[in-house]
Structure 1
Amino acid sequence: MERETLFIAFSTQKGGVGKTAFTVLLSSYMHYLDGKSVAVIDCDFPQHSIMEMRKRDSELVINDPFYKRMAFNQFREISGKAYPVIGSKPADAIQDAEKLIAGSETKIDIIFFDLPGTMNSKGVVMTLREMDYIFSPVSADRLVLASTLSFASSLNENLISVGKSRIKALNLFWTMVDAREKTPLYDAYVDAIEELGLSVLKTHIPDTKRFRREMDETHRAFFRSTVFPPDRQLIKGTRVDELVTEIYQIINV
Protein backbone atom coordinates (compact mmCIF):
# COMPACT_ATOMS: atom_id res chain seq x y z
CA MET A 1 0.00 0.00 0.00
CA GLU A 2 1.36 3.41 -0.99
CA ARG A 3 2.11 5.78 1.87
CA GLU A 4 0.52 9.23 1.80
CA THR A 5 3.53 10.72 3.58
CA LEU A 6 6.83 10.85 1.68
CA PHE A 7 9.99 9.69 3.45
CA ILE A 8 13.07 11.62 2.28
CA ALA A 9 16.70 11.56 3.42
CA PHE A 10 19.68 13.76 2.62
CA SER A 11 22.20 11.01 3.06
CA THR A 12 25.86 10.33 2.36
CA GLN A 13 28.81 8.53 3.95
CA LYS A 14 31.04 11.61 3.91
CA GLY A 15 30.71 14.21 6.65
CA GLY A 16 31.08 17.94 6.15
CA VAL A 17 29.09 18.28 2.91
CA GLY A 18 25.87 19.45 4.53
CA LYS A 19 23.40 16.59 4.90
CA THR A 20 22.15 17.92 8.25
CA ALA A 21 22.23 21.54 7.04
CA PHE A 22 20.16 20.68 3.97
CA THR A 23 17.71 18.69 6.08
CA VAL A 24 17.06 21.80 8.19
CA LEU A 25 17.10 24.25 5.26
CA LEU A 26 14.67 22.28 3.12
CA SER A 27 12.39 21.40 6.02
CA SER A 28 12.09 25.04 7.10
CA TYR A 29 11.79 26.34 3.53
CA MET A 30 9.03 23.89 2.61
CA HIS A 31 7.12 24.19 5.89
CA TYR A 32 7.30 27.91 6.60
CA LEU A 33 7.51 29.37 3.09
CA ASP A 34 5.62 26.83 0.97
CA GLY A 35 3.07 25.64 3.50
CA LYS A 36 3.97 21.95 3.33
CA SER A 37 3.34 19.85 6.42
CA VAL A 38 6.81 18.64 7.37
CA ALA A 39 8.42 16.65 10.18
CA VAL A 40 12.01 15.64 10.95
CA ILE A 41 13.25 12.39 12.44
CA ASP A 42 16.71 13.10 13.85
CA CYS A 43 18.34 9.69 14.06
CA ASP A 44 21.93 10.90 13.79
CA PHE A 45 22.63 9.27 17.14
CA PRO A 46 24.18 10.20 19.54
CA GLN A 47 24.78 13.87 18.62
CA HIS A 48 21.21 14.60 17.46
CA SER A 49 22.30 17.92 15.92
CA ILE A 50 18.82 18.96 14.76
CA MET A 51 17.30 18.22 18.16
CA GLU A 52 19.99 20.40 19.73
CA MET A 53 19.28 23.17 17.21
CA ARG A 54 15.55 23.01 18.00
CA LYS A 55 16.39 23.34 21.70
CA ARG A 56 18.55 26.44 21.05
CA ASP A 57 15.95 27.98 18.74
CA SER A 58 13.12 27.36 21.21
CA GLU A 59 15.05 28.89 24.12
CA LEU A 60 15.69 32.04 22.09
CA VAL A 61 12.00 32.31 21.17
CA ILE A 62 10.96 31.88 24.80
CA ASN A 63 13.55 34.23 26.32
CA ASP A 64 14.12 36.90 23.65
CA PRO A 65 11.26 39.38 23.00
CA PHE A 66 12.51 39.99 19.43
CA TYR A 67 12.18 36.32 18.45
CA LYS A 68 9.04 35.87 20.53
CA ARG A 69 7.37 38.62 18.46
CA MET A 70 8.69 37.07 15.23
CA ALA A 71 7.26 33.69 16.18
CA PHE A 72 3.89 35.15 17.13
CA ASN A 73 3.58 36.99 13.82
CA GLN A 74 4.78 34.01 11.79
CA PHE A 75 2.51 31.38 13.30
CA ARG A 76 -0.46 33.74 13.08
CA GLU A 77 0.33 34.28 9.39
CA ILE A 78 0.77 30.61 8.45
CA SER A 79 -1.90 29.39 10.88
CA GLY A 80 0.37 26.63 12.09
CA LYS A 81 3.12 25.62 14.43
CA ALA A 82 6.77 24.70 14.16
CA TYR A 83 7.27 21.32 12.53
CA PRO A 84 7.98 18.44 14.92
CA VAL A 85 11.56 17.23 15.41
CA ILE A 86 11.73 13.74 16.88
CA GLY A 87 14.88 12.19 18.30
CA SER A 88 15.40 8.56 17.38
CA LYS A 89 17.94 5.90 16.47
CA PRO A 90 18.38 4.50 12.94
CA ALA A 91 16.92 1.14 13.94
CA ASP A 92 13.81 2.80 15.42
CA ALA A 93 13.35 5.63 12.90
CA ILE A 94 10.65 4.08 10.71
CA GLN A 95 8.60 2.93 13.68
CA ASP A 96 8.86 6.41 15.24
CA ALA A 97 7.82 8.01 11.93
CA GLU A 98 4.78 5.75 11.70
CA LYS A 99 3.79 6.66 15.27
CA LEU A 100 4.14 10.34 14.39
CA ILE A 101 1.90 9.93 11.34
CA ALA A 102 -0.70 7.95 13.29
CA GLY A 103 -0.79 10.55 16.07
CA SER A 104 -0.96 13.62 13.81
CA GLU A 105 -4.29 15.44 13.56
CA THR A 106 -3.49 16.44 9.97
CA LYS A 107 -1.73 14.75 7.07
CA ILE A 108 2.06 15.09 7.10
CA ASP A 109 3.31 15.67 3.56
CA ILE A 110 7.01 14.90 4.08
CA ILE A 111 9.16 13.42 6.81
CA PHE A 112 12.87 14.13 6.49
CA PHE A 113 15.33 11.70 8.09
CA ASP A 114 18.77 12.79 9.29
CA LEU A 115 20.92 9.66 9.46
CA PRO A 116 24.47 8.92 10.63
CA GLY A 117 27.18 9.30 8.01
CA THR A 118 28.10 5.64 7.90
CA MET A 119 26.36 2.59 6.52
CA ASN A 120 27.88 0.55 9.36
CA SER A 121 25.69 2.12 12.04
CA LYS A 122 23.00 -0.28 13.21
CA GLY A 123 19.74 0.19 11.35
CA VAL A 124 20.95 2.69 8.74
CA VAL A 125 20.51 0.38 5.73
CA MET A 126 17.16 -0.84 7.07
CA THR A 127 15.96 2.77 7.33
CA LEU A 128 17.36 3.85 3.97
CA ARG A 129 15.51 1.06 2.18
CA GLU A 130 12.22 2.54 3.49
CA MET A 131 12.88 5.97 1.98
CA ASP A 132 10.88 7.17 -1.02
CA TYR A 133 13.66 9.49 -2.16
CA ILE A 134 17.32 9.98 -1.25
CA PHE A 135 19.36 13.07 -2.11
CA SER A 136 23.13 12.94 -1.63
CA PRO A 137 25.13 16.18 -1.47
CA VAL A 138 28.56 15.86 -3.08
CA SER A 139 31.48 18.20 -3.71
CA ALA A 140 34.16 18.14 -6.39
CA ASP A 141 36.73 17.03 -3.84
CA ARG A 142 38.03 13.64 -5.00
CA LEU A 143 37.78 11.98 -1.57
CA VAL A 144 34.22 13.23 -1.07
CA LEU A 145 33.26 12.21 -4.59
CA ALA A 146 34.76 8.73 -4.25
CA SER A 147 33.03 8.15 -0.91
CA THR A 148 29.66 9.41 -2.16
CA LEU A 149 29.83 7.37 -5.35
CA SER A 150 30.66 4.26 -3.33
CA PHE A 151 27.66 4.94 -1.07
CA ALA A 152 25.25 5.68 -3.93
CA SER A 153 26.43 2.79 -6.09
CA SER A 154 26.05 0.37 -3.20
CA LEU A 155 22.46 1.49 -2.60
CA ASN A 156 21.67 1.37 -6.30
CA GLU A 157 23.14 -2.09 -6.85
CA ASN A 158 22.01 -3.79 -3.64
CA LEU A 159 18.63 -2.17 -2.99
CA ILE A 160 17.17 -0.03 -5.76
CA SER A 161 17.93 -1.89 -8.98
CA VAL A 162 16.97 -5.25 -7.49
CA GLY A 163 13.69 -4.00 -6.03
CA LYS A 164 14.58 -4.53 -2.38
CA SER A 165 13.50 -1.07 -1.22
CA ARG A 166 10.80 1.58 -1.50
CA ILE A 167 13.30 3.99 -3.05
CA LYS A 168 11.86 5.62 -6.17
CA ALA A 169 14.93 7.73 -6.95
CA LEU A 170 18.40 8.48 -5.65
CA ASN A 171 19.90 11.77 -6.85
CA LEU A 172 23.25 13.39 -6.18
CA PHE A 173 23.60 17.17 -6.21
CA TRP A 174 26.63 19.45 -6.25
CA THR A 175 27.29 21.59 -3.21
CA MET A 176 30.19 23.74 -1.97
CA VAL A 177 30.73 24.78 -5.60
CA ASP A 178 33.59 27.26 -6.00
CA ALA A 179 32.72 29.93 -8.58
CA ARG A 180 36.28 29.67 -9.92
CA GLU A 181 35.84 26.02 -10.85
CA LYS A 182 35.14 25.51 -14.53
CA THR A 183 31.86 24.05 -15.77
CA PRO A 184 33.63 21.44 -17.97
CA LEU A 185 35.04 19.90 -14.78
CA TYR A 186 31.54 19.22 -13.49
CA ASP A 187 30.37 18.05 -16.92
CA ALA A 188 33.15 15.46 -16.93
CA TYR A 189 32.23 14.32 -13.42
CA VAL A 190 28.54 14.06 -14.37
CA ASP A 191 29.40 11.92 -17.39
CA ALA A 192 31.37 9.55 -15.16
CA ILE A 193 28.59 9.46 -12.55
CA GLU A 194 25.91 8.73 -15.13
CA GLU A 195 28.00 5.85 -16.48
CA LEU A 196 27.52 4.26 -13.05
CA GLY A 197 23.75 4.50 -13.53
CA LEU A 198 23.35 7.41 -11.09
CA SER A 199 21.58 10.75 -11.54
CA VAL A 200 22.74 14.26 -10.70
CA LEU A 201 20.48 17.28 -10.17
CA LYS A 202 20.96 20.30 -12.40
CA THR A 203 21.12 22.73 -9.46
CA HIS A 204 24.61 23.60 -8.20
CA ILE A 205 24.78 25.02 -4.66
CA PRO A 206 27.61 27.55 -4.26
CA ASP A 207 30.10 27.58 -1.40
CA THR A 208 28.92 30.37 0.89
CA LYS A 209 29.27 31.18 4.58
CA ARG A 210 25.61 32.19 4.65
CA PHE A 211 24.64 28.57 5.26
CA ARG A 212 26.30 28.74 8.69
CA ARG A 213 24.23 31.64 10.00
CA GLU A 214 21.94 30.57 12.83
CA MET A 215 19.72 32.49 15.24
CA ASP A 216 21.62 34.37 17.93
CA GLU A 217 21.31 37.27 20.35
CA THR A 218 22.52 39.81 17.74
CA HIS A 219 19.22 39.50 15.82
CA ARG A 220 21.06 39.58 12.50
CA ALA A 221 19.52 37.84 9.49
CA PHE A 222 19.96 34.07 9.70
CA PHE A 223 19.80 31.16 7.29
CA ARG A 224 19.44 28.06 9.46
CA SER A 225 16.64 27.64 11.96
CA THR A 226 14.10 24.99 12.87
CA VAL A 227 11.43 27.53 13.87
CA PHE A 228 11.80 30.13 11.10
CA PRO A 229 12.46 29.98 7.34
CA PRO A 230 15.77 31.11 5.87
CA ASP A 231 15.89 34.88 5.40
CA ARG A 232 14.59 35.78 1.94
CA GLN A 233 17.44 38.19 1.24
CA LEU A 234 20.04 35.59 2.23
CA ILE A 235 18.41 33.01 -0.05
CA LYS A 236 19.23 35.13 -3.10
CA GLY A 237 22.23 33.71 -4.94
CA THR A 238 22.34 30.46 -2.93
CA ARG A 239 20.10 28.56 -5.40
CA VAL A 240 18.30 26.91 -2.51
CA ASP A 241 15.02 28.01 -4.11
CA GLU A 242 16.08 26.32 -7.36
CA LEU A 243 16.99 23.16 -5.44
CA VAL A 244 13.56 23.09 -3.79
CA THR A 245 11.85 23.52 -7.17
CA GLU A 246 13.88 20.70 -8.73
CA ILE A 247 13.16 18.40 -5.78
CA TYR A 248 9.43 19.15 -6.03
CA GLN A 249 9.53 18.08 -9.67
CA ILE A 250 11.17 14.77 -8.74
CA ILE A 251 8.90 13.93 -5.81
CA ASN A 252 5.77 15.16 -7.65
CA VAL A 253 4.76 17.68 -5.01
Structure 2
Amino acid sequence: MKKETLFIAFSTQKGGMGKTALTVLMASQLHYTKGYHIGIVDCDYPQHSIGEMRKRDTDLVMKDEYFKLQAYRQFSTLGIKAYPIKECTADKAIDMAEELMQTSDKDFDIIFFDLPGTLNSPGVILTLASMDYVFTPVSADRVVLESTLQYATMLNDNLIVPQKGNLKGLYLFWNMVDGREKTPLYKAYEKVIAELRLNMLKTILPDSKRFRREVSDQRKSVFRSTLLPADKTLLKGSNIEELANEICQTIKLENHGNQ
Protein backbone atom coordinates (compact mmCIF):
# COMPACT_ATOMS: atom_id res chain seq x y z
CA MET A 1 0.00 0.00 0.00
CA LYS A 2 1.41 3.39 -1.01
CA LYS A 3 1.97 5.62 2.02
CA GLU A 4 0.78 9.21 2.17
CA THR A 5 3.54 11.79 1.87
CA LEU A 6 3.01 14.72 4.21
CA PHE A 7 3.90 18.26 3.11
CA ILE A 8 5.22 20.33 6.05
CA ALA A 9 6.68 23.81 6.42
CA PHE A 10 8.26 25.78 9.23
CA SER A 11 6.84 29.11 8.25
CA THR A 12 6.62 32.63 9.59
CA GLN A 13 6.70 36.06 8.00
CA LYS A 14 9.04 37.38 10.73
CA GLY A 15 12.71 37.10 9.81
CA GLY A 16 15.36 35.81 12.19
CA MET A 17 13.19 33.13 13.80
CA GLY A 18 15.27 30.25 12.46
CA LYS A 19 12.81 28.59 10.10
CA THR A 20 15.57 27.43 7.73
CA ALA A 21 17.75 26.09 10.55
CA LEU A 22 14.74 24.30 12.05
CA THR A 23 13.87 22.76 8.69
CA VAL A 24 17.38 21.29 8.40
CA LEU A 25 17.56 20.18 12.03
CA MET A 26 14.18 18.46 11.86
CA ALA A 27 14.80 16.86 8.46
CA SER A 28 18.15 15.47 9.62
CA GLN A 29 16.76 14.27 12.96
CA LEU A 30 13.88 12.43 11.30
CA HIS A 31 15.90 11.07 8.36
CA TYR A 32 19.30 10.16 9.78
CA THR A 33 18.33 9.37 13.38
CA LYS A 34 14.71 8.17 13.31
CA GLY A 35 14.85 6.49 9.89
CA TYR A 36 12.04 8.30 8.08
CA HIS A 37 12.38 9.03 4.36
CA ILE A 38 12.62 12.81 4.05
CA GLY A 39 12.97 15.29 1.19
CA ILE A 40 13.34 19.07 1.11
CA VAL A 41 12.07 21.57 -1.45
CA ASP A 42 14.04 24.77 -0.99
CA CYS A 43 11.84 27.44 -2.56
CA ASP A 44 13.26 30.37 -0.59
CA TYR A 45 14.35 32.15 -3.77
CA PRO A 46 16.85 33.65 -4.50
CA GLN A 47 19.10 32.73 -1.56
CA HIS A 48 18.23 29.01 -1.44
CA SER A 49 19.91 28.74 1.96
CA ILE A 50 19.42 24.98 2.37
CA GLY A 51 20.67 24.22 -1.13
CA GLU A 52 23.75 26.32 -0.43
CA MET A 53 24.24 24.55 2.90
CA ARG A 54 24.23 21.18 1.11
CA LYS A 55 26.99 22.45 -1.20
CA ARG A 56 29.09 23.56 1.78
CA ASP A 57 28.47 20.27 3.59
CA THR A 58 29.44 18.26 0.52
CA ASP A 59 32.62 20.26 -0.07
CA LEU A 60 33.73 19.78 3.53
CA VAL A 61 32.93 16.05 3.61
CA MET A 62 34.89 15.52 0.41
CA LYS A 63 38.03 17.26 1.69
CA ASP A 64 37.96 16.30 5.40
CA GLU A 65 38.86 12.67 6.14
CA TYR A 66 37.03 12.64 9.48
CA PHE A 67 33.70 13.69 8.04
CA LYS A 68 34.26 11.60 4.93
CA LEU A 69 34.59 8.50 7.12
CA GLN A 70 31.46 9.44 9.05
CA ALA A 71 29.47 9.82 5.85
CA TYR A 72 30.86 6.54 4.46
CA ARG A 73 29.93 4.60 7.61
CA GLN A 74 26.47 6.12 7.57
CA PHE A 75 25.87 5.00 4.01
CA SER A 76 27.65 1.63 4.03
CA THR A 77 26.71 0.43 7.53
CA LEU A 78 23.25 1.93 7.99
CA GLY A 79 22.35 2.22 4.32
CA ILE A 80 21.12 5.80 4.80
CA LYS A 81 21.60 8.04 1.78
CA ALA A 82 21.52 11.81 2.02
CA TYR A 83 18.01 13.18 1.71
CA PRO A 84 17.37 15.04 -1.56
CA ILE A 85 17.19 18.84 -1.72
CA LYS A 86 15.55 20.49 -4.71
CA GLU A 87 15.65 24.22 -5.44
CA CYS A 88 12.91 26.25 -7.12
CA THR A 89 10.69 29.29 -6.67
CA ALA A 90 7.63 29.20 -4.40
CA ASP A 91 5.20 29.08 -7.32
CA LYS A 92 6.90 25.90 -8.60
CA ALA A 93 7.27 24.19 -5.21
CA ILE A 94 4.39 21.73 -5.43
CA ASP A 95 5.31 20.71 -8.98
CA MET A 96 8.88 20.15 -7.79
CA ALA A 97 7.64 18.01 -4.89
CA GLU A 98 5.48 15.92 -7.22
CA GLU A 99 8.46 15.39 -9.53
CA LEU A 100 10.61 14.41 -6.54
CA MET A 101 8.01 11.85 -5.45
CA GLN A 102 7.63 10.40 -8.94
CA THR A 103 11.38 9.93 -9.48
CA SER A 104 12.11 8.41 -6.05
CA ASP A 105 12.38 4.63 -5.71
CA LYS A 106 10.98 4.92 -2.17
CA ASP A 107 7.89 6.66 -0.83
CA PHE A 108 8.58 9.79 1.20
CA ASP A 109 7.21 10.13 4.71
CA ILE A 110 7.62 13.92 4.71
CA ILE A 111 8.69 16.59 2.27
CA PHE A 112 9.68 19.80 4.04
CA PHE A 113 9.31 23.14 2.27
CA ASP A 114 11.55 26.11 3.05
CA LEU A 115 9.39 29.05 2.00
CA PRO A 116 10.20 32.75 1.55
CA GLY A 117 9.64 34.88 4.63
CA THR A 118 7.04 37.10 2.97
CA LEU A 119 3.55 36.30 1.79
CA ASN A 120 4.06 38.74 -1.08
CA SER A 121 6.36 36.34 -2.93
CA PRO A 122 4.57 34.76 -5.94
CA GLY A 123 3.01 31.41 -5.13
CA VAL A 124 3.56 31.45 -1.36
CA ILE A 125 -0.13 31.50 -0.39
CA LEU A 126 -1.02 28.70 -2.82
CA THR A 127 1.93 26.64 -1.61
CA LEU A 128 0.93 27.16 2.03
CA ALA A 129 -2.59 26.03 1.14
CA SER A 130 -1.07 22.79 -0.19
CA MET A 131 0.75 22.00 3.07
CA ASP A 132 -0.62 19.37 5.41
CA TYR A 133 0.85 21.09 8.47
CA VAL A 134 2.59 24.37 9.24
CA PHE A 135 4.77 24.85 12.32
CA THR A 136 5.51 28.43 13.30
CA PRO A 137 8.32 29.46 15.68
CA VAL A 138 7.59 32.47 17.85
CA SER A 139 9.47 34.40 20.51
CA ALA A 140 8.23 36.45 23.48
CA ASP A 141 9.37 39.68 21.83
CA ARG A 142 6.24 41.81 21.51
CA VAL A 143 6.88 42.89 17.89
CA VAL A 144 7.66 39.32 16.82
CA LEU A 145 4.66 37.95 18.71
CA GLU A 146 2.19 40.45 17.22
CA SER A 147 3.46 39.84 13.69
CA THR A 148 3.41 36.06 14.12
CA LEU A 149 -0.08 36.00 15.63
CA GLN A 150 -1.37 38.12 12.76
CA TYR A 151 0.22 35.69 10.31
CA ALA A 152 -1.08 32.58 12.11
CA THR A 153 -4.58 34.02 12.48
CA MET A 154 -4.69 34.86 8.77
CA LEU A 155 -3.81 31.27 7.82
CA ASN A 156 -6.19 29.83 10.39
CA ASP A 157 -9.16 32.01 9.43
CA ASN A 158 -8.66 31.89 5.66
CA LEU A 159 -7.36 28.36 5.04
CA ILE A 160 -7.87 26.00 7.98
CA VAL A 161 -11.30 26.94 9.40
CA PRO A 162 -13.06 27.26 6.01
CA GLN A 163 -11.11 24.20 4.78
CA LYS A 164 -9.85 26.02 1.70
CA GLY A 165 -6.90 23.91 0.67
CA ASN A 166 -5.13 20.97 2.24
CA LEU A 167 -3.89 22.57 5.45
CA LYS A 168 -4.97 20.43 8.41
CA GLY A 169 -3.32 22.34 11.21
CA LEU A 170 -1.01 25.17 12.24
CA TYR A 171 1.00 24.93 15.44
CA LEU A 172 3.00 27.64 17.18
CA PHE A 173 5.95 26.85 19.42
CA TRP A 174 8.29 28.92 21.55
CA ASN A 175 11.76 29.40 20.09
CA MET A 176 14.87 31.26 21.29
CA VAL A 177 13.67 31.19 24.90
CA ASP A 178 15.96 32.81 27.45
CA GLY A 179 16.04 30.64 30.57
CA ARG A 180 16.12 33.78 32.73
CA GLU A 181 12.72 34.97 31.50
CA LYS A 182 9.85 34.50 33.91
CA THR A 183 7.25 31.81 33.28
CA PRO A 184 4.24 34.13 33.99
CA LEU A 185 5.14 36.13 30.87
CA TYR A 186 4.74 33.05 28.69
CA LYS A 187 1.55 32.02 30.46
CA ALA A 188 0.06 35.44 29.72
CA TYR A 189 1.00 35.19 26.05
CA GLU A 190 -0.31 31.63 25.84
CA LYS A 191 -3.65 32.82 27.19
CA VAL A 192 -3.88 35.31 24.31
CA ILE A 193 -2.90 32.59 21.83
CA ALA A 194 -5.61 30.29 23.20
CA GLU A 195 -8.21 33.07 22.94
CA LEU A 196 -7.31 33.37 19.24
CA ARG A 197 -8.04 29.62 18.90
CA LEU A 198 -4.49 28.89 17.82
CA ASN A 199 -2.67 25.67 18.71
CA MET A 200 0.58 25.61 20.68
CA LEU A 201 3.13 22.82 21.01
CA LYS A 202 4.48 22.00 24.47
CA THR A 203 8.14 21.80 23.44
CA ILE A 204 10.19 24.94 24.05
CA LEU A 205 13.49 25.57 22.23
CA PRO A 206 16.16 27.49 24.14
CA ASP A 207 18.17 30.43 22.83
CA SER A 208 21.46 28.73 21.97
CA LYS A 209 24.36 29.45 19.64
CA ARG A 210 24.44 25.78 18.66
CA PHE A 211 21.43 26.34 16.38
CA ARG A 212 23.71 28.41 14.16
CA ARG A 213 26.56 25.88 14.19
CA GLU A 214 27.22 24.23 10.84
CA VAL A 215 29.73 21.52 10.01
CA SER A 216 33.23 22.98 10.12
CA ASP A 217 36.76 21.68 9.68
CA GLN A 218 37.58 23.64 12.85
CA ARG A 219 35.61 21.22 15.02
CA LYS A 220 34.50 17.61 14.80
CA SER A 221 31.08 17.84 16.44
CA VAL A 222 28.08 18.24 14.15
CA PHE A 223 24.83 19.99 14.99
CA ARG A 224 23.26 21.51 11.90
CA SER A 225 24.07 19.55 8.75
CA THR A 226 22.21 18.31 5.67
CA LEU A 227 24.46 15.24 5.39
CA LEU A 228 25.02 14.02 8.95
CA PRO A 229 22.94 13.62 12.12
CA ALA A 230 23.44 16.00 15.01
CA ASP A 231 25.98 14.93 17.63
CA LYS A 232 24.20 13.42 20.64
CA THR A 233 26.12 15.57 23.10
CA LEU A 234 25.02 18.73 21.28
CA LEU A 235 21.43 17.51 21.03
CA LYS A 236 21.23 17.32 24.82
CA GLY A 237 19.45 20.41 26.10
CA SER A 238 18.51 21.65 22.62
CA ASN A 239 15.04 20.03 22.79
CA ILE A 240 15.29 19.10 19.09
CA GLU A 241 14.65 15.44 19.93
CA GLU A 242 11.63 16.45 22.00
CA LEU A 243 10.31 18.68 19.21
CA ALA A 244 10.74 15.89 16.66
CA ASN A 245 8.81 13.47 18.88
CA GLU A 246 6.00 15.95 19.51
CA ILE A 247 5.69 16.77 15.81
CA CYS A 248 5.53 13.05 14.95
CA GLN A 249 2.75 12.61 17.52
CA THR A 250 0.92 15.72 16.31
CA ILE A 251 0.88 14.69 12.65
CA LYS A 252 0.28 11.02 13.58
CA LEU A 253 3.28 9.91 11.53
CA GLU A 254 3.35 6.14 11.27
CA ASN A 255 6.73 4.57 11.82
CA HIS A 256 7.78 3.54 8.33
CA GLY A 257 11.43 4.08 9.21
CA ASN A 258 14.27 1.90 10.42
CA GLN A 259 13.54 1.86 14.14
TM-score for both structures, normalised by structure 1? 0.98
Paired letter, 1:217: D
The aligned residue for residue 17 of structure 1 is 17
The root-mean-square deviation of aligned C-alpha atoms, in Å, is: 1.1
Paired letter, 2:83: Y
Q: Is the 8 A contact 1:35 1:78 kept in 2?
A: no
The aligned residue for residue 101 of structure 1 is 101
Q: Secondary structure at the match of 1:202?
A: coil
Shift of residue 62, structure 1, vs aligned partner: 1.4
Work out the CA distance in 1 between the residues paired with 2:250 and 2:79: 28
Moved more, 94-103 or 61-70: 61-70
User: Residue deviations 1:168-223, cap 9 Å, x none?
Assistant: 11000000000011111111111101111101111110101111111111233121
Work out the CA distance in 2 between the residues paired with 1:70 and 1:7: 30
Q: How does 1:44-193 map to 2 (within 5 A)?
A: 44-193=44-193
Work out the CA distance in 2 between the residues paired with 1:37 and 1:236: 24
Work out the CA distance in 2 between the residues paired with 1:196 and 1:119: 21
Paired letter, 1:207: D
Work out the CA distance in 1 between the residues paired with 2:77 and 2:245: 23
Unaligned runs of 5+ in 2: 254-259
The aligned residue for residue 213 of structure 1 is 213
Q: Is the 8 A contact 1:38 1:109 kept in 2?
A: yes
Paired letter, 1:98: E
Work out the CA distance in 2 between the residues paired with 1:134 and 1:23: 11
Q: Is the 8 A contact 1:205 1:238 kept in 2?
A: yes
Paired letter, 1:60: L
Paired letter, 1:108: F
Tell me which stretches of 4 or more aligned residues in structure 1 moved more than 4 Å: none
Paired letter, 1:11: S
Paired letter, 2:12: T
The aligned residue for residue 201 of structure 2 is 201
User: Residue deviations 1:90-128, cap 9 Å, x none?
Assistant: 000000000100111011110000000011110000000
Work out the CA distance in 2 between the residues paired with 1:243 and 1:64: 31
Q: Secondary structure at the match of 2:201?
A: strand
Paired letter, 1:132: D
Moved more, 107-116 or 65-74: 65-74
Shift of residue 3, structure 1, vs aligned partner: 7.4
TM-score for both structures, normalised by structure 2? 0.95
Paired letter, 1:188: A
Q: Secondary structure at the match of 1:204?
A: coil
Q: Is the 8 A contact 1:32 1:78 kept in 2?
A: no
Q: Is the 8 A contact 2:57 2:215 kept in 1?
A: yes
Moved more, 16-25 or 57-66: 57-66
Shift of residue 238, structure 1, vs aligned partner: 1.0
Work out the CA distance in 1 between the residues paired with 2:19 and 2:56: 20
Q: Is the 8 A contact 1:48 1:87 kept in 2?
A: yes
Unaligned runs of 5+ in 1: none
